Amino acid sequence: MIIQDETKRIFTLQTCNTTYQMKADQNGLLLHTYYGPKIREGDLSRLIRYADRGFSPNPNEAGNDRTYSLDTLPQEYSGSGAGDFRLPSLELELSDGSHVADLRYTGSQQERGKYALEGLPSFFAPEDQAETLVITLEDAVAQVRVEMLYGVFEDCDLITRAVRITNRGGKPVRLRRAASLCLDFPSAQLDFITFDGGHVKERGLNRTPLRPGIQSVGSIRGISSHQHNPFIMLCEPSADEDHGTCYGAALVYSGNFEAAVERAQFEDARLTLGIHPFHFCWTLEPGEVFTTPEAAMICSPRGFGQMSRQFHRAVREHLLRDVWRDRRKPVLVNSWEAAYFDFDTPKLLRLAREAANLGVELFVLDDGWFGHRDDDSSSLGDWWANEKKLPGGLGALATEINALGMEFGLWIEPEMVSEDSQLYQKHPDWALNPPSRPHTRGRCQLVLDYTRPEVREYVAQALEKLLKTAHISYLKWDMNRALTQVWSAALPSERQGEVYHRYVLGVYDLLERVRAMSPGTLIEGCSGGGGRFDMGMLYYTPQIWCSDNTDAIDRLRIQYGTSFAYPPSTMGAHVSAVPNEQTGRSVPLETRGTVAMSGTFGYEMDLGTLPEEEKNLVRHQIRDYRESYQLIQSGDYYRLSPPSPDGAPTAWLHVSQDRREALLCVVSGQVHAGPPFRCLRLKGLDPEKQYRVTGGEELWPGDVLMEAGFPLPMLREYQSLRLWLKAE
């Protein structure tokens, strides 16, 4: 709900559990007055105090009032060069060479429904499920208008923000920085939580108190990256899963980003989130508009768990648009770890027959099917089947796969090109690279210049032909290197600072076209696993390959960190062979299945090599997954105990919306002699209901399970439990 007091120029955004407020003061400065647990309406600017602070200058409007300074006031969107020395949200380069941005309130507008962003992903909702507030600021001297867009999703506690910047003057203006979110906190007694790692070790949780100065995470790789995720949290030092106030903020974007927090001199704090300023310079000609990516934020007064469940609900209901959002996704087998590049039609059909006999529903052909590709050094860009491997092409193979009762899926990497490809030989300027510089290669490949419409048109036509040649119900859209030599032959020198962002816009444009040409095809995003696991990609691909690391024990940590913002329904997770190719670890098939079933579930192995006992277990896992699919994909998710290096079990719980069913998953760690007895407190159940646990005869009251706990049996190393709880 949006409440406007036009007389006092106060704007209050109310959600189920939180309140957000700002106020335009007597000088037109848009002050941030409050964001936190829900309170009644009122003018919260009374919380702001004024003092004469040395070396904090005063704007002209303040006259001789030395207590009024942009350097000390909490601002809704900070400028630069006008007296606020904290993190700027907006940096302009004007035609006279100055870099001043000084914004003042000029008006507001309230609308039913949720605003949309042209060419950019964003949360959406029917008119009766969201509201929009537009607040307009202006730098009168620069003649730059800033429209602050706020979307309010009351039931999800979600507030979204984006910014439209318009050059209303007669000369070009350059944007050097344009954040999507600025959020000032009155106290810097906060912990900063980020989700970091690298390839095959993505999204590990890191928590640290704010220290004086600026702390930041980000990416300058052209993708959101394996190293740092564009989702962060700030919280009270005492906050945990169930207690304390915490704030989550995500950028709905798939390119370079920066999340920065400054603990300032007077023990306040400022968070900014948006496009990374590295190599960013966007020229706005007179009349032109630049729109920032959307930022999404949720405040939880009751710990991390509530925040995560609200993010999960918001993503499922208001970000995923695919027809597969509400449809059960098929159990798949991917050919990669079973065959790598060494396959032909008979081998693939053998793999598919074995899988079909066990109940697998989708066969995915991974890398190596196109051009003359027998390793990862060739053929990217030549998107037609290698008929030496696949006589009759993809159409013939798909027909045979379909005859087995399975759908057919395909891996593709459409943003890349190999130097030996026909595409590159014909169009070398279609790869990103400055003139006269040698190439920097990643995985023996170059990056196509997606800023250029003709490049996207070529790839779109190639994909359309593929989709018409064979019945392809699933595409795995991969992207296996970061961007380097970021220079486009299609742009003048003064606009090369636009290439990173234009590249991402080009990716979004092509994904939108592919979705339109084949709306029933399920697309899974991938970037060497989780290198582009972000809310921007989820707008186009309803699931993302969580990590190239399929080791079940490592996946516990990866999926744990991912769950803080992203629901299980978006996490690509498969059972692979042991010893695992990444870690060399051997984990029981039951445990590999338990971990993978808390995602989009499939297999990444030659199922025909399994002994009959394990084949029967695969059949059982597939039946279990089908039975529990709705609960896992749309239920509430509770983290019960995190992955731990000391060998304690990792546990999580899926609970139905009506709290009548729950699925408890437990995986033990390393086991040592003389282990303790463990009792696990459950969450989210109905305290007044009685629950029967799988295999047990007695009923357990919900309050007992939550307050006293459920006694775990002694588990062997890396053993798992998967227990149903059903109310009677």
CA dist., res. 573 & res. 570, Å (int): 9
CB 325 within 8 A of CB 283: no
Residues 6+ apart with CB under 8 A from 426: none
Place of tokens 């590295």: 278
Locate 339 and state its tokens: 């065959």
Closest CA to 653 of 717, 619, 702: 702
Cα-based torsion angle of the residue sequence 203, 209, 214, 217 in order, rounded to the nearest 10 degrees: 0
The strand pairing partners of 92, in sequence order, are 175
CA–CA–CA angle 710, 571, 582 (5° rounding): 90
CB 164 within 8 A of CB 146: yes
CA dist., res. 511 & res. 412, Å (int): 13
Closest CA to 625 of 650, 589, 599: 599
CA dist., res. 90 & res. 100, Å (int): 9
Active site residue 96: no
Q: Tell me the CA distances in angstroms from 80 to 49, 91, 388, one per residue in order.
A: 22, 6, 61
Locate 365 and state its tokens: 């052909």
Q: DSSP letter string over 173-219?
A: EEEEEEEEEEEEES----EEEEEEEETTEEEEEEEEE--BEEEEEEE
CA dist., res. 204 & res. 197, Å (int): 6
Locate 111 and state its tokens: 């609308």
CA dist., res. 462 & res. 466, Å (int): 6
- Which residue among the candidates 184, 548, 554, 606 is catalytic per the annotation? 548
Active site residue 382: no
**If 0-12 CB within 10 Å is exposed, 13-18 middle and 19+ buried, where does residue 677 land?**
exposed
Place of tokens 């991402």: 504
- Which residue among the candidates 184, 478, 534, 636 is catalytic per the annotation? 478
**Would you name the residues annotated as active-site residues?**
478, 548
